[in-house]
A and B are shown apart, each in its own frame.
Chain A
């Protein structure tokens, strides 16, 4: 079994744990640790090959459900929903922006990229 396969399995198991933590224990700390683990797992193997945004966009709403945004209670429900989605969209786009920047930096220093 090669490294990439091991990392794929690691990623799979880690995300299982993330979901279990999120929906069963609601322990944000566990979730955060595994999210970091998830990033560490995929960075060496596949970050050059997969669209990273695709993974990040899927993980973000799971975080959103566990990090409440303090809003005035008298704000109507639909407007509240709109605000929450907007705030998390901006957070997602900001994260993508930063990750793209880091990714570009890493690509420039990646020997595999230069060999291509």
Chain B
């Protein structure tokens, strides 16, 4: 690392440090500005791994049967810390995922163009939280942690490392199946293009073409098999979702970078014209990512916001190269680098300012997007005063009940199924039904505060 830095000019090193600042500031802002993870998926992720030390076999089984084994294995490292408070650890783990993804983008841009592109790529990814990606708000930890592997898959491809590519492909696929599926479809689309290519492929590329073709063939057969035997998977119901991030990417604040990406893509094609597999694979990745992210425009509306991250990466990498190419042409060099650093820092400052307001809003006790102090106090009381064998019943009005197993070790149900049953109401979102207040002999109020009410059902 030190040798690498010694080879760089002072201007480039300064730009790299500015970029790292641009990556770290909005990322670290999330755990520092929020007292609890925002998204509802956090509890589910924690619940899988939190008992690694006390119940390792059960945890291993949970991880094995999950959709995201690699992400969970990495996340379970937190269990080694005996003083871990999982909600806080989760927020920092998301931050780490965001930072590692940014560094992976930097590595890919470095491989494709050089250190300036790496710095710009890192800084651009740093600007994405909340404005262009929903990872922090949705607590989609597994998907976020699958991105570095997907990016490194392309970096290894650029480095012509087949073993690295295969490893990264499997790590990405077992970190999050959607990422794996997108990479697989990319390979399926790329394989026939390589056979049609008029350019001569070298021996390594021909071998890679073979690997792509076999993988594509196996994947298509598997997909047909799944389609024939498990057709219900394709009938998954979902609410129509319009992509707010895609608009931001192509019309909103990121629009200049989307334009720069065109210029950057042109340079990638020119610079790496001899690496046909790389060019074709990157182009196919964009093909798949854009169609998937913009599926609301195709009349489908399936998880568009979550699927936007891939096309965002497809814009950031060439944009970093396009912009690096532009500053390469500017003279004097020092002024060009100063301008770039100032621009990136200013844009990051704007993102931090915008996100501050969003985090502040989420911290407000008047909204229920996240669990607040009162609800946490109620859960802490339940942990102290309700036996683990008790049955806790709550409605699905909020997703706060998902934290009961994580923070109190209690199992939660929709209906009362045992004599030792408690009812919990998170009263910021739901009201206690009138019949409960009218029958104090049957529903005994055990605990109440501004955010929750806990009743014990007295057996008749």
Residues of chain A having any CB pair with chain B under 8 Å: 8, 11-12, 15-16, 19, 23-24, 46, 49-51, 53-58, 60-62, 64-65, 68, 76-82, 84-85, 88-89, 92-93, 96-97, 100, 103-104, 107
Which residue of A is nearest B294, CB measured? A65
Judge whether A51 and B235 touch: CB under 8 Å. no
Which residue of B is nearest A88, CB measured? B291
| B429 close to chain A: CB less than 8 A | no
| B193 close to chain A: CB less than 8 A | yes
Judge whether A62 and B276 touch: CB under 8 Å. no
Q: A16-B259, A58-B287, A89-B287 are in contact. List 7 more A-B contacts (CB 8 A).
A: A23-B250, A56-B283, A58-B265, A77-B300, A77-B302, A81-B291, A81-B300
Contact flag A80-B299 (CB < 8 Å), given A23-B250, A53-B283? yes
| A contact patch SS | helix
User: Inside 8 A of B302's CB, which chain A residues have their CB?
Assistant: 77-78, 81
Judge whether B262 and A84 touch: CB under 8 Å. no
Please tell me the number of chain B residues within 8 Å of chain A, measured between CB atoms: 46
- The A/B interface has a contact count, at CB < 8 Å, of 123
Judge whether A55 and B291 touch: CB under 8 Å. no
CA distance A84 to B294 in the complex (A): 12
CA distance A31 to B36 in the complex (A): 47
| B251 close to chain A: CB less than 8 A | yes
Contact flag A62-B290 (CB < 8 Å), given A89-B189, A96-B196? yes
User: Inside 8 A of A81's CB, which chain B residues have their CB?
Assistant: 291-292, 295, 298, 300, 302
CA distance A97 to B297 in the complex (A): 28
CA distance A48 to B291 in the complex (A): 29
CA distance A55 to B270 in the complex (A): 11
Judge whether B280 and A8 touch: CB under 8 Å. no
Judge whether A57 and B287 touch: CB under 8 Å. yes
Q: Mark B284-324, 1 if CB is under 8 A from A, else 0.
A: 10111011101101111110000000000000000000000
Determine how close the nearest CB of chain B comes to the CB of A115; give it in whole angstroms.
18
| B452 close to chain A: CB less than 8 A | no
Which residue of A is nearest B302, CB measured? A77
| B366 close to chain A: CB less than 8 A | no
Judge whether A53 and B286 touch: CB under 8 Å. no
Judge whether A60 and B287 touch: CB under 8 Å. yes
Judge whether A61 and B279 touch: CB under 8 Å. no
Judge whether A11 and B266 touch: CB under 8 Å. yes
Q: List 25 A-B contacts (CB under 8 A).
A: A12-B266, A19-B258, A51-B197, A53-B193, A54-B283, A57-B189, A57-B193, A57-B287, A60-B287, A61-B290, A61-B294, A65-B298, A77-B302, A78-B233, A78-B300, A80-B298, A80-B300, A81-B291, A81-B298, A84-B298, A88-B287, A93-B192, A96-B196, A100-B197, A107-B198
